[in-house]
Amino acid sequence: MNTPKTPPQKSHGRKAIRPTREPRALMDQAPDLAKAWKAQVITLLPEAFPGILGESLTGRALKDGLWQLDSVALRQFGEGKHRNVDDTPAGGGAGMVLRPDVMGAAIDHAHARMPPAAPLIYLSPRGRPFTQDMAHSLAAGPGVSLICGRFEGLDQRVIDHYRILEVSLGDFILTGGEIAAQALIDACVRLLPGVLGNDASTEHESFSDGLLEHPQYTRPAEWRGQRVPDVLMSGHHGEIAKWRHAQSESLTEQRRPDLWARHTATPKTS
């Protein structure tokens, strides 16, 4: 007797992929947390997040709902079969430029998921320098949306249309904005209430009063012939405070003349 053949089994691990102009969900979105500070990142590399932000104190705070992270996959808004997001520079030149229609669609999608007061920032080496004051300002708001650049950058029309704030971490070039975005988010999240556990930890850091932080020491009292400065072992808190301030001023004058000039030009209150 002939046994009927079993029909060939389809692989359970594959799905048919059909082109669509509708962006697919990158991941199951967590519900918005009331009053939680929210960071949203538009990126070609959503798998790069949370990255280091998912570790240590920022990771614990993320798990506890003190802040929220949302990645928006730019590729989902790409054009054509291959989801292209870039094209050659107008006027010629090397590299590729992120397309305005693709980025505009991603931004419109992102705006609907963020508080209206949350600023939109493009991480760019030509942007305004990121500072501790900016971190405090952003941390005091409802959150921030960040655009991670790639290739030769972003079409200027997008920046002009949405009045995007360009921000730079320093006078150097990265291959993309993802590392810069994580650094900016980290600087803001650690300022949120309850993240560090001790709010006083942020009061005497570098840049908190316009100066670099004084040197730090701990046990043992002597290590490889070097001792902890005697004043720090004296128990005289007033003298310790004076020593630390003098050290901060000395370090700032030596290492950051720009900060020192600003510090000495600022009128002192009695």
Q: Convert the pLDDT of each residue in 2-33 to its tens digit.
A: 555 444 443 333 333 344 444 433 334 566 78
Identity of residue 8? P
**pLDDT recorded at residue 33:** 83
pLDDT tens for 63-118 read: 999 999 999 999 999 999 999 999 999 999 999 999 999 999 999 999 999 999 99
Chain Cα centroid distance, residue 172: 16
> Taking the domain 204-265, which CATH number applies?
1.10.1270.20
**Res. 203 pLDDT band, cuts 50 70 90:** low
pLDDT tens for 215-233 read: 999 999 999 999 999 999 9
Lowest mean pLDDT among 16-20, 238-242, 245-249: 16-20
**Res. 267 pLDDT band, cuts 50 70 90:** confident
Question: pTM of the entire structure?
Answer: 0.84
Give phi and psi for 189, each to the nearest 5: -60, -40
Mean local confidence (pLDDT), 207-217: 90
Our CA angle for 144, 154, 112, nearest 5°, is 35
For the chain, the domains span 37-189, 204-265
Spatial separation of the C-alpha atoms in residues 69 and 53, rounded to whole Å: 9
> Taking the domain 37-189, which CATH number applies?
3.40.1280.10
C-alpha to C-alpha distances, 241 to 25, 199, 218, 232, 234, nearest whole angstrom: 53, 19, 16, 9, 12
**3 state DSSP class of 248:** helix
**pLDDT recorded at residue 207:** 80
* Lookup result for tokens 């001792």: 227
